């Protein structure tokens, strides 16, 4: 996924828009973060005879490094929501020795070396309103999480199988931030959540940050992402990503 190209295009558009309106009413935030989550859980296909495959024990996954680009654009028009874009690269690969045969998407994979890819990369578009905007900031709205990835497995006998992950999940978006007076420091949290029947997704961030008077900022904390799917594109998942992140940004 070409997050950089998308981010540059959105940034140019936002810059053009901000040039036509007073900077006192336009807010633009551009940032990039590094996230190092531990990956745990399992997945399976919904075909008859498929079995649960564990990321750690069967495929050898442990941790991952993810890059995220985020851009938010706020404006003074009351009835129109503000917009936030976030692109997350969650593409991980692993090579491990399979100790028991596993079936995935009507293919049986034998004991021995196995290569796998778990790609849950996605784009978020959040449409939100500012409920409070002073030393306490609260945003609430709707987040559309669009997955563009795959789950694939290949063994030494050249058996291979792949399921494309092409799902869009609407989620509640809630963000809160408390500024510590006269210091530039703040604490905050972001939550995106959905639960429909057997399917659920949750994206949570807890952070501590500092923003200078010039608009340059840095923040870090803990980010978790969980995804439980039941027969979504013929895929079942029970996955957890949990780790520290560091984000740098420019706010003007």
Quickly list DSSP for the chain. --HHHHHHHHHHHHHHHHTTS-TTT-EEEEEEEEEEEEEEEEEEESSTT---EETTTTT---B--EEEEEEEEE-S-TTSPEEEEEEE--EEEEEEEESS-EEETTEEE-SEEEEEEEE--EEEEEEEEEEEESSEEEEEEEEEEEE-EEEEEEETT--EEEEEE--EEEEEEEEEEEEPTTTSEEEEEEEEEEEETTEEEEEEEEEEEEE-TTSEEEEEEEEEEEEEEEEETTEEEEEEEEEEEEEEEEE-
Residue 22: predicted pLDDT: 34
Domain-wise residue ranges, the chain: 3-251
Residue 2 pLDDT > 70: no
Per residue in 201-237, is it b (16+ CB within 10 Å) or e — as a string? bbbbbebebebeeeeebebbbebebbbbbeebeebbb
CATH of domain 3-251: 2.40.128
In the predicted model, what is the mean pLDDT of the chain? 86
Q: What is the reported pLDDT for 223?
A: 96
Handedness of CA 94, 62, 125, 212 (dihedral sign): negative
CA distance 100 to 242: 28
Identify the band that residue 197 occupies on the pLDDT scale cut at 50, 70 and 90: low
Is the model's pLDDT at 96 over the cut of 60? Answer: yes
pLDDT digits (tens, 9 = 90+) for 28-83: 999 999 999 999 999 998 755 567 899 999 999 988 899 999 999 998 888 899 99
Per-residue model confidence as pLDDT tens digits over 149-188: 999 999 888 889 999 988 888 999 999 999 999 899 999 9
pLDDT at 212 over 90: yes
């Amino acid at each position: 996924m070409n997050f950089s190209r998308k981010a540059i295009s959105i940034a140019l558009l936002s810059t053009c828009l901000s040039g036509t309106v007073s900077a006192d009413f336009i807010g633009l935030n551009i940032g990039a973060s590094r996230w190092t989550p531990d990956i745990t859980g399992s997945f399976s296909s919904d075909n008859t005879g498929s079995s649960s495959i564990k990321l750690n024990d069967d495929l050898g996954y442990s941790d991952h490094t993810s890059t995220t680009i985020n851009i938010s654009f706020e404006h003074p028009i009351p009835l129109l929501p503000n917009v936030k874009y976030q692109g997350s690269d969650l593409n991980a690969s692993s090579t491990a020795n399979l100790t028991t045969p596993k079936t995935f998407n009507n293919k049986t994979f034998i004991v021995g070396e196995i290569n796998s890819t778990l790609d849950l990369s996605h784009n978020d578009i959040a449409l939100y309103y500012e409920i409070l905007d002073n030393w306490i900031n609260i945003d609430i709205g709707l987040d559309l999480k669009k997955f563009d990835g795959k789950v694939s497995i290949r063994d030494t006998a050249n058996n291979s199988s792949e399921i494309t992950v092409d799902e869009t999940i609407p989620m509640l978006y809630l963000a809160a931030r408390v500024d510590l007076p006269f210091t530039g420091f703040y604490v905050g949290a972001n939550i995106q959540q959905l639960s429909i029947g057997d399917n659920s997704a949750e994206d949570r961030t807890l952070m501590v940050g500092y923003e200078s008077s010039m608009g340059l900022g840095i923040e870090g904390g803990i980010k978790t992402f969980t995804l439980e799917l039941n027969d979504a594109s013929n895929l079942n998942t029970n996955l957890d990503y949990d780790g520290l992140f560091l984000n740098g940004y420019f706010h003007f």
